Amino acid sequence: LVKEGPISILGRVCSLLENLIHEGDLSSKKLNGIGIGVPGPVDFSVGSLVSPPIMPGWDRYPIIQTVQQWFPTTNVVVDNDVNVMALGEIYQGAGKGVDNLIYVKIGTGIGAGIICESKIYRGSNGCAGDIGHISVDKNGPLCHCGNKGCLEALAAGPAIALRSLNAAQAGKSPILMKYYETNGNVLRAEDVGNASREGDAVALEVIRESGQFIGDVLAGLVNFYNPGMIVIGGGVSNLGDLLLSSIRQSVLRRSLPLATRDLLIVFSEIGTDAGVIGAINLAMDNIFTLLSNRVEAVAD
């Protein structure tokens, strides 16, 4: 969808929003803020994507200015989608009240949103949290980034599906093979989850192994960042408690006792709502920042 390019997509988003305002019998002048999350690294100071790998045509595209052509009186703010979800988690999710938190989204890719002292931490180029390409196994499978054994190439949805399919095609899992054939020769990560709930040994092993890879990377990040909580979200979190317990086990084995003493590792309770809640709070934070800057300017 994002591949249609910014003009088409932002146009569609803005017209959907106009419809919503119309349906609610509201005025767009009462729309004080818009918060937007996009799947790529964002230069937050100008609200543009910088070299996004999966969004051709979006590089440095002026998202804020485009949206403001539709809503000229509205304050618009843009951030990376996983950052926005992390913000949602500390406002209304499992991370309420946690100062330092890592939100990990595991789906087609793997990314993290970092909360530092209750705020989004973006890093020096806006690409902090890009944990999908941290090395897990130097001799592991080739990743689309060109390196070998990246976390994403071992534990994201497609990797989980592929390892399961290989085992199924080697005759090790009639259950997975049935899912594969029923779907029209496609096996998805969610099929692996379903097979595991039916007790399929291959599915259980692939999930356990994937949790271990994720946990190995998180163990290093726990030693470095010493967060109070890690929240796991994204489609792969539907694989269930075996994934979570496997992640926890790896982290506990490799992290330092002091860093794990109070550490909680949990699944997101609010799912994709994290993005919506985060975007609302991003927009509100932005308005309050603008207002307080204006008050200071008046006071001077």
- Report the interface residues with a copy of itself, using CB under 8 A: 41, 50-51, 99-100, 112, 114, 116-117, 121-131, 133-135, 145, 147, 216-217, 219-221, 223-228, 253-254, 256-259, 261-263
For residue 131, how far is the Cα from the chain centroid? 11
- Give the span between the Cα atoms of 81 and 87, in whole angstroms: 10
Closer to a copy of itself by Cβ: residue 134 or 155: 134
Closer to a copy of itself by Cβ: residue 155 or 219: 219
The backbone region for 240, taken as left when phi is positive above 0, alpha when psi lies in -120 to 50, beta otherwise, is left
Which sign, positive or negative, has the C-alpha torsion 37, 38, 41, 42? negative
Cβ 258 to a copy of itself shortest distance, Å? 5
Instruction: Tell me the β-bridge partners of 49.
Output: 42, 59
Cβ 215 to a copy of itself shortest distance, Å? 11
Cβ 100 to a copy of itself shortest distance, Å? 5
Cβ 18 to a copy of itself shortest distance, Å? 34
DSSP state of 143: P
Closer to a copy of itself by Cβ: residue 17 or 252: 252
DSSP state of 165: H
Token pair listed for 232: 């796991």
Closer to a copy of itself by Cβ: residue 221 or 243: 221
Cβ 232 to a copy of itself shortest distance, Å? 16
Evaluate whether 50 touches 59 at the Cβ level (below 8 Å). Answer: yes
DSSP state of 36: E
Cβ 99 to a copy of itself shortest distance, Å? 7
Closer to a copy of itself by Cβ: residue 66 or 135: 135
| Amino acid making up residue 176 | L
- Give the span between the Cα atoms of 90 and 119, in whole angstroms: 9
Q: What is the dihedral of CA 3, 121, 151, 53, to 10 degrees?
A: 20
What are the Cα distances from residue 3, in Å, to 66, 141, 181? 17, 27, 30
Cβ 63 to a copy of itself shortest distance, Å? 18
- Give the span between the Cα atoms of 173 and 300, in whole angstroms: 72
Closer to a copy of itself by Cβ: residue 11 or 220: 220
Closer to a copy of itself by Cβ: residue 158 or 220: 220
